[in-house]
Structure 1
């Protein structure tokens, strides 16, 4: 009888220790899971916000650039120059959250924006009195050319790529 009581008490002690041990492990695991869930949701939210901000900046910059091409003045040029710098800083700072293919498209888009700005600015400067009409004509031709490119479908590709990346992250599809 004594052997049975000793075995039973040892079994109860082992069972109690196992319950305590598994409870401790389960608590630690749930705490870690919650910590990672919070961290992941924060990163996920940040990534979505960055993509939204990219789209917003692309649309705004394109709109302002088109306006500058039509009725450009020195104040608009300064504003566009500052917005261009802000756009570059934004995507450089946030590049860890941006897919490399989208980042490449943004860099190409930025080059295109710079070329458009330069053409519009040159035309704006050449419209002053006393400038050679041949230079003015060439600048006007270049401004019209980049204006047409600015309205073209090339800019839709990056917008669609960003939207598709956001939909993929949100696990949303049309099908």
Structure 2
């Protein structure tokens, strides 16, 4: 693996070796939102197939995603988050919330995060704004927000789940 951060003794630099390539965070966002198959991710992002294959390969190689077969003939795989990948949830949420605050879309946020138990919004500190509970990825639902375009990965994933 080529290292862009040779000679740096830095946890951030080592992290960027795994997730710092262009497209990687959007690939992870899509997997978190339910798009797990190569063709779904590729179609939604409009990313070149070879670039996507490279990004997915790196994420699998580093244990962030795992390839799981969903079809035998021909063999096809989907990509699922490992525990190591799920540990990136706070990073994804922080980037999303930063974008909602500092680079908002005119229609509003494309995704709303809500506490599964009470429906409260997720704070910047990853707690529920309604009940105060500390939240992790399994405690939160992602819902389409007012700024979600029809091709948003959350809506695409829901359509696929509904057979659409």
**TM-score grouping bracket, smaller chain normalisation:** under 0.3
Which one has the largest radius of gyration? 1
Structure having the larger proportion of residues in helix: 1
Please report the TM-score for the alignment, with normalisation by the length of structure 1.
0.26
Please report the TM-score for the alignment, with normalisation by the length of structure 2.
0.27
